[in-house]
Structure 1
Amino acid sequence: MSERSDADLLAAHVAGDADAFGELVHRHQSRLWAVAVRTLGDREEAADALQDALVSAFRRAGSYRGEAAVTTWLHRIVVNACLDRVRRRAARPAVPLPEQEPADHRDAHASTETALDVRAALATLPEHQRMALVLVDMHGLPVSEAAAVLGVAEGTVKSRCARGRAALLPLLAPGGNRSAGSDVPGMDPPAETKEAAVPTEGERA
């Protein structure tokens, strides 16, 4: 197993090392895949978006300047590839059903329904709020890293997350029996919603 850092691998790729980029991708592919799947909610689209992102990263490796971690740079490219696909289907957001779901597996069915509810609710959010929630609450990125990926201030990420959680709450708990925090893995209840009353700089789109 190579002990080279991510930056070393990227630099080696730019210098002509035929194996370096593949090693870098192998090291981080699972996290990048998770971001794509949770953002798009469709495995086929996520696979296409990830492929587009990796091709872009392969070709643009020479533009990396070391101003952010290589993982942050890669996440940003994946997020942008996903956003391109989100914009394309914005007029007709779809929630895919699982290909196989045994009718007698009630617990599994209930879990699937919950996941579909969450995906449908996320699809109603403004793009910038959705991406912040996916990165921070569903993928577990630190606010600082999510801010670097999205190219905004940390306060903006916090505000977007708070507003997104507040918007999800009535959608996921129409009868008062659910909370957005309980339905979305890793998502806490919107305790800090009040702090987001005033938009931060960059909270426009």
Structure 2
Amino acid sequence: MSRHARGDDQAFNELVRRHRERMWAVAVRVLGDPEEASDALQDAFLSAFRAAGRFRGEAQVSTWLHRIVVNACHDRMRRRMVRPAVPTDDATLDVLSNERAKATASTPDPSGRSDSAMDVRAALDKIPDEQRMALVLVDMMGYRVDEAAGILDVAPGTVKSRCARGRARLLPYLAHLRNPERPRDVTSPRGGDGRS
């Protein structure tokens, strides 16, 4: 980072090369959409490039970059929530629905892993952003609580409580993964067949 601040043109490229894959994984897991993640990652690296001169070295470069990526993802999630819906006519909806059905049918996953991953993604989308980000960093990316706290710029106890609350909220949506005989319904917080 100091080489970049001193004007070394290749230093930031090396930093991006070294951390790109890990940052991409964080963005995809937080946002759930590779295109959104790509845009967030681009925003994050641009922000990091602009802010490199202000890097004080109080945290590791990787922690600093993670914080920037998580913030870029959070910004995109906020924008996505306030973005107005685009009106679509019935004919367009039918075409989109048929295209999605064709795409799904043409790429079966005999292992069933993609269904589980989609269930986890759908369940993660139903919990608050703060809990989702903590769970992604700790449970999916394998960061220690103190590292996640540094990335999220919160106390370690806050990360622990967000993870605990997030896991509790996810459990009803994902109970069928522990008990495969149980019917799946990730739209219901009970995770079952919708019956009470």
Match of 1:125 in 2: 127
Distance in 1 between residues matched to 2:68 and 2:25, nearest whole Å: 14
Per-residue CA deviations over 1:77-122 (Å, capped at 9, x if unaligned) read 0000000111122368xxxx799555574524x2222111111111
Match of 2:57 in 1: 66
Structure 2 regions of 5+ residues with no counterpart?
A: 84-99, 181-196
Match of 2:47 in 1: 56
Distance in 2 between residues matched to 1:137 and 1:175, nearest whole Å: 16
Match of 1:142 in 2: 144
Per-residue CA deviations over 1:8-40 (Å, capped at 9, x if unaligned) read xx1111111010000011111110010001011
The count of corresponding residues between Structure 1 and Structure 2 is 164
Per-residue CA deviations over 1:141-168 (Å, capped at 9, x if unaligned) read 1111100011111111111101100110
Q: TM-score, normalised by structure 2?
A: 0.77
2:125 partner SS: helix
Give the root-mean-square deviation of aligned CA atoms.
2.3
Moved over 3 A (4+): 97-106
Structure 1 regions of 5+ residues with no counterpart?
A: 1-9, 179-205
Q: TM-score, normalised by structure 1?
A: 0.74
> Are residues 85 and 121 of structure 1, via their aligned partners in 2, closer, same or farther at CA, if it must alter by over 3 Å?
same
Match of 1:151 in 2: 153
Task: Name which of 12, 16, 19 aligns with 2:10.
Answer: 19
Distance in 2 between residues matched to 1:172 and 1:119, nearest whole Å: 10
Amino acid at match of 1:153: A
Instruction: Check if 1:86 corresponds to 2:70.
Output: no
Instruction: Check if 1:111 corresponds to 2:113.
Output: yes
Distance in 2 between residues matched to 1:98 and 1:35, nearest whole Å: 28
Match of 2:185 in 1: none
Match of 2:163 in 1: 161
Structure having the higher helix fraction is: 2
Distance in 2 between residues matched to 1:140 and 1:104, nearest whole Å: 29
Distance in 1 between residues matched to 2:126 and 2:132, nearest whole Å: 9
1:19 partner SS: helix
